[in-house]
Amino acid sequence: MSTVQTLDRAIATVVRQHGGIGGAAAVVKNGEVLLRHSWGWADQDRRYPFTPATLFRICSISKQFTCATLIDRFPDPSALDGDVKARLPLLAETAPRTADLANNQSGLRDYWATAMLCGSPVEAPFGEAEARRLIALTRSLHFQPGTRYSYCNQNFRLIGDILADRADRPLSDLLRKIFDRAGMERAILGAETSALPDGTVGYEGSLEEGFRPAINRILWTGDAGIAASLDDMIAWEKFIDLTRDDANGLYRRISTPQSFRDGALAKYGFGISHGKMLEKRITSHGGGLRGWRSMRFYAPEERVSVVVLLNHMGDPRPAAQELFAAVLGVPAKGPAPEPAKGWTGTYFEPETGLSTRIETTPDHKVQLHYVGRATETLDPKGEAEAGNPSVRLRRAADGLWMDRPDENFSVKLVPNEGEAKTDIGGSFHSAEYDATLTIVDRGGQLSGAFSGFLGPGLMQPLIPSGPDVWRLPCPRALDFSPPGDWTLAFKRESGRITGVQVGCWLARRIDFRRM
């Protein structure tokens, strides 16, 4: 069977298993298009079909185009370090460098999370004024720049805004130069996420419960604001392959592996993730906004690119892997994992101050609840280790360790078992964000909510997570995906609650004092 025939079968499987309301996918090998396919609806109410020319929100894939613009205009990004510092007027620590922003090593807390800390209602409008004010509140970092990795959307908003200010031109004009060079004829910076010029709609829901238009009122810029068609993304992948041997090629320059300050190799840099799929080296990025999911990658040794675009909330990575497997002629899934035994427990992670839970599943997987709302799935390897390419749990003589090489740290997890005391009610204030955490007891149910300059947040029931540690859920936020549960680690003096340290993966170690 030819590769094209194999891909035809694979895309039929993808549409059947991951198709949702609509989408598109492509495979490019050696600069030639092997697959260009779309299905379903761009707007089911008006019966607009999803086509290869349909505009699509590529979400965080936008970051690599922002970084390409940065490198194109400022081959030495340190020329903008002063601009970064100027946008953080209250920061009392050493400001991150421009390269730290591009590598997600800035130590800045993500405004996706801190907006909820400041009381933003779910799906509230969030534009230039809100972003600028929230970023300018920053007084501290949750790690020293260049020492750790933490995904942070505002890193790339800062880069885009600084580029526009330096050029005295809109970022859309600067991006146009990159789009034109790559032959991306329809691509635009569509910062207004509630609508696209051609009427394409992003959807929430499922086949079982039905689909509904996703509500999105955020103005994204250099972090997630680009809209492009499948044909535009095919042009980008062909451009990547065409310039693969050019030392000054844009993609080659932004996909050069980066390092941390201590010399350790980083898996992320300039809007590009470095990893493996089906044991083949790839450079990639995914994306997700409410109603949209996307994935693209390039395997340089094989000269294969895969793009999957979904205008619904399905996961594009399994679909991309299915298509890649068809090109390689290998199975899309590996062997079944070993049985998972004895992994269940609740812990406190002292490096970030986050509550950590470990569970097992009926299909012999280990589930780690730590990073945001998403669950990290690990394959057990005997009784002493479980892991995936990004994280590993290992039992040692002195306890259970979590290794996160992509983020450049290892930490011993502290068991956090026992009853949580309920004398935590009251109001707590963060001087840094001028935000208030209110905890109330209503008939035996403890609930909490944040409030600040963006509004009063929703009250949510608290979940005990060990002595003086609780979780405050954040199931929905400004956009996909929410920052996940906030860890509330309460502090006592002489037995009395005096404060609480609040954190999630995107925004860690924020002190609140009892009012």
Which one of 29, 62, 63, 229 is the catalytic residue? 63
| 63 labelled catalytic | yes
CA pair distance 336, 358, nearest whole angstrom: 20
The single-letter code of the amino acid at 424 is I
Long-range Cβ contact pairs of 437-446 (< 8 A, separation 24 or more) = 437/488, 437/500, 437/502, 437/512, 446/422, 446/470
What stretch of H or E contains 111?
A: helix 111-117
Collapse the DSSP code of 326 into the 3-class scheme (helix H, G, I; strand E, B; otherwise coil) and give the result: helix
In the residue annotation, 365 being an active-site residue is answered as: no
Report the 3 state secondary structure along 499-515: EEEEEECCEEEEEEEEC
Query: Over the Cα atoms of the chain, what is R_g?
Result: 23
Rounded to the nearest 5°, which phi and psi values hold at 168? 55, 40
Q: Record the tokens describing residue 437, joined without a space.
A: 């955490």
Are 324 and 278 in contact by the 8 Å Cβ rule? The answer is yes
Burial 373-388 (b: 16+ CB within 10 A, else e): bebbebbbeeeebbbe
* Omega cis (within 30) before 481: yes
Q: Is 171 left (phi over 0), alpha (psi -120 to 50) or beta?
A: alpha
The one-letter amino acid code at 273 reads S
In which region does residue 143 sit, left (phi positive, over 0), alpha (psi from -120 to 50) or beta (all else)? beta
* Backbone phi, psi, residue 175, to 5°: -65, -30
Q: Which of 29, 38, 60, 62 is catalytic?
A: 60
HSE on the CB side for 305, CA within 13 Å? Answer: 24
Q: What are the tokens at 386?
A: 């479980």
Spatial contact of 98 and 86, defined as CB atoms under 8 Å apart: no
- C-alpha 89 chain-centroid distance: 26
Q: Return the beta strands (E) in 216-303 as ranges.
A: 226-228, 268-269, 272-277, 280-289, 292-299
Contacts of 132 (CB under 8 A, 6+ apart): none
Q: Whole-angstrom Cα distance, residue 478 to residue 454?
A: 11
Strand ranges (E), 151-291: 188-189, 203-206, 210-213, 226-228, 268-269, 272-277, 280-289
Contact 217, 225 (CB under 8 A): no
Which residue(s) pair with 400 in the sheet? 395
Catalytic residue numbers read 60, 63
